[in-house]
Amino acid sequence: MKPNKVIFSAVAILCLTTGLVFAQKGTPTLELEAVGEVQIGADGQVLDYTLKNNLAPAISALVDKNVRKWVFDPVLVDGKPVAAKTSLHLRLKAIPTQQDNYSLQITNVIFGEPKMAAKNQAPKYPPAAVQARLGAKVILWLKLDDAGNVIDVQPYQTSLDGRAATEVEAERWRALFEKFSVAAAKNWHYDLNETLNGRTVGTTVFAPINYTVELPGKSHAAGEWKAFLPGPLHTGPWSTTNQLAITRDLSTLQQGETQPLDSHFRLKEDVIGKTL
């Protein structure tokens, strides 16, 4: 019998957890995000930083103070250093210390994250997969031009939420989900957030797509585990070693986000794990 309700999320989380932090005892560990924009000069020094989401004044001030001290490798255009601007997405973790105080730590930094245009159409759910009550998580490589249009798309990894009888059958299902995902993504557009010397530049990104079938009277609630069987990884024809090294950050991607792979912004000192 076919389920009477199908839910599809065009961009979804890339990890098995929901991003919530569970503590067995005592004061909980908290997570939050700082989304903003940073501008640097030709020498790599921060010229300006703007926070775009609401944070507590004390946290906002702490983030602002630290970001303004960052130093980047100079961004080069035709071999010459130029002024540049990019979006900044910080993931922060507040770790409880003594007397109910917290220590704020950086857990991830994303530069130049493109935003999916509202007009983008979600992929169709493969009818055969709906009938089989099978879901999947598809991660795509997307190559964007300097206008934000998708000019090439390749599947990177497809994971099923159910076990197939054989690997041949599993690959058939993965190929089906990839076919529907690629067909939709070819018509997508993104708003780019990185400029070099005043000009917008294209990039390559990872974009996740999540297919979920909900049975009548049973839905997947936030905070519940959802299991996937990881599929094989496929490198893009235009991927680089540096891009592949960034895949360690895919576990932190959440709904509506992308992982840019070609950002021109490089910090001289790694800030992951640093305390603000």
Task: Show the domains of the chain with their CATH numbers.
Answer: 5-18+114-260 (3.30.2420.10), 30-111 (no CATH)
User: How far is Cα 144 from Cα 260, in angstroms, rounded to an integer?
Assistant: 10
- Mean pLDDT for the stretch of residues 10-20: 30
Enter the DSSP assignment of 148: S
What pTM value is reported for the model?
Answer: 0.77
Is the confidence at residue 255, as pLDDT, over 70? no
- Mean pLDDT for the stretch of residues 187-214: 92
- Mean pLDDT for the stretch of residues 118-128: 93
- Residues 6 or more apart from 171 whose CB is under 8 A from it? none
For residue 254, what pLDDT band results from cuts at 50, 70 and 90? low
For residue 3, what pLDDT band results from cuts at 50, 70 and 90? very low
Q: Given this model, what pLDDT does residue 173 score?
A: 96
Beta bridge mates, 211: 8, 136
pLDDT tens for each residue of 96-111:
777 667 788 998 898 9
Average pLDDT, the chain: 81
Q: Report phi then psi at 94, rounded to 5.
A: -95, 110
- Mean pLDDT for the stretch of residues 214-233: 65
Q: Given this model, what pLDDT does residue 240 score?
A: 56
Q: Given this model, what pLDDT does residue 203 score?
A: 92
**233 vs 125, which has greater pLDDT?**
125
- Mean pLDDT for the stretch of residues 243-251: 52
Is the confidence at residue 24, as pLDDT, over 80? no
CB-count burial class (<10 Å; 0-12, 13-18, 19+) for 6:
middle
Residue 113 is encoded by which pair of tokens? Answer: 């994250």
For residue 213, what pLDDT band results from cuts at 50, 70 and 90? confident
pLDDT tens for each residue of 174-187:
999 999 999 999 99
pLDDT tens for each residue of 146-173:
999 999 999 998 999 888 889 999 999 9
Q: Given this model, what pLDDT does residue 245 score?
A: 47
Is the confidence at residue 225, as pLDDT, over 60? no
Total length of the chain: 276
Distance of CA 226 to the CA centre of its chain: 18
Beta strands in 52-149 (DSSP E): 75-77, 80-82, 84-96, 102-111, 115-116, 136-144
Among candidate residues 79, 69, 103, the one with its CA nearest the CA of residue 273 = 103
Q: Given this model, what pLDDT does residue 72 score?
A: 97
Which residue type sits at 99? Answer: Q
Distance of CA 258 to the CA centre of its chain: 4
Percent of the chain with pLDDT over 70: 77
